[in-house]
Amino acid sequence: MITQLRTMFGRKGSQTANTTAVPDLPRPVTPTYVVGDLHGRADLLELMLELIDAHIGGTGGQDPRLVFVGDYVDHGPESAAVVARLRELSEDFPQNVICLMGNHERMLLDTLNDPALRGPRWLREGGFATLASYGIDPTPLAEAATPARWTQTAEALAQAIGPETQEWLAACPLSWNSGNLWVVHAGADPARPMTEQTARVQLWGHPEFDSMPRGDDAWVAHGHVVRDAPIVRDGRISLDTGAWTTGKLSCIAIQPDGSYAFLQS
């Protein structure tokens, strides 16, 4: 797969998309692929990489960007594999692969820092599956989540993840921008410029994000809220199609002229 991706990011050729810019569409500087919430589905990640590779080859795109919207862990069975794969990709292709932080990565890191206080909420949000993917039996916590057990579990999890991967997760950015396209995990405050969004809003969303139009020309691609299908409307691109339970992982491929297509594994 690494060989395949080196081909993906090293392709030469001219783009075949329409050269007429459309002002009311997202227009990144280079071809951009934004992938929705993975939640432990390493199998769908690999399928999506193959679809993206084929799409790049078919469109002749140069210097593409792959942006993952966060929520790599929890719920699904292979959180550890997803994190390892994304870290590998981002380190092998640092200019082309961008992995944003989602609220589930934030909850995981918070649990490692303060297990007894932060851990219970993380478990309710799917953390059991992440523990199991790192080879840690979550049964003792289900039986009696005492502070001592939480400390033991967090220590075991930290050791299983490893300090370098913890640092990588903690360094995942909250947003990414190219042209008038912004990518965040959960959404944005429509009354504030994209450069002034808070960490909480980008990780957890904003109550007016779906209802209030933005006052600028920014398009915001995001995940976090599960939809039946991806949506492009009113400056918002929603990409979470519940991969961990539906088996549908969605991606939008956006060209610099504003044309776009959906890929789904």
- Which residues are CB-neighbours of 209 under 8 A, at least 6 positions away? 187, 188, 189, 190, 220, 236
Question: 136 and 237: one domain?
Answer: no
Question: 91 and 35: one domain?
Answer: yes
Question: 36 and 129: one domain?
Answer: no
- Total domains in the chain come to 2
| Cβ atoms of residues 185 and 174 within 8 Å | yes
Question: 116 and 238: one domain?
Answer: no
Question: 87 and 181: one domain?
Answer: yes
Question: 150 and 79: one domain?
Answer: no
Question: 249 and 215: one domain?
Answer: yes
Question: 98 and 110: one domain?
Answer: no
Tell whether 123 is covered by a domain: yes
Q: Give the tokens for residue 245.
A: 């339970």
Instruction: Give me the count of residues in the chain.
Output: 265
| Cβ atoms of residues 186 and 103 within 8 Å | yes
Question: 206 and 142: one domain?
Answer: no
Question: How far is residue 99's CA from residue 5's CA, in Å, rounded to a whole number?
Answer: 16
Q: What is the pLDDT of residue 85?
A: 98
Give the domain extent around 239. Answer: 2-9+30-102+172-264
Give Rg (Cα) of the chain. Answer: 19
Tell whether 128 is covered by a domain: yes
Q: What is the pLDDT of residue 154?
A: 95
Question: 191 and 257: one domain?
Answer: yes
Tell whether 25 is covered by a domain: no
Query: For the whole model, what pTM was predicted?
Result: 0.92
In single-letter form, the type of residue at position 113 comes to: N
Tell whether 17 is covered by a domain: no
- Which residues are CB-neighbours of 134 under 8 A, at least 6 positions away? 79, 80, 157, 160, 161
The CATH number of the domain where 194 resides is what? 3.60.21.10
pLDDT by residue for the chain (265 residues), tens only, comes to 555 666 667 654 433 333 333 348 999 999 999 999 999 999 999 999 999 999 999 999 899 999 999 999 999 999 999 999 999 999 999 999 999 999 999 999 999 999 999 999 999 999 999 999 999 998 888 777 789 899 999 999 999 999 999 999 999 999 999 999 999 999 999 999 999 999 999 999 999 999 998 888 899 999 999 999 999 999 999 999 999 999 999 999 999 999 999 999 8
Tell whether 21 is covered by a domain: no
- Residue where a domain terminates, one of 166, 194, 214: 166
- Residue where a domain terminates, one of 115, 131, 166: 166
| Cβ atoms of residues 98 and 90 within 8 Å | yes
Tell whether 20 is covered by a domain: no
Tell whether 19 is covered by a domain: no
Question: 74 and 142: one domain?
Answer: no
- Residue where a domain terminates, one of 141, 166, 191: 166
Q: What is the pLDDT of residue 144?
A: 76
DSSP type of residue 229? S
Question: How far is residue 160's CA from residue 142's CA, in Å, rounded to a whole number?
Answer: 20
Question: How far is residue 26's CA from residue 46's CA, in Å, rounded to a whole number?
Answer: 26
Tell whether 22 is covered by a domain: no
Question: 181 and 155: one domain?
Answer: no
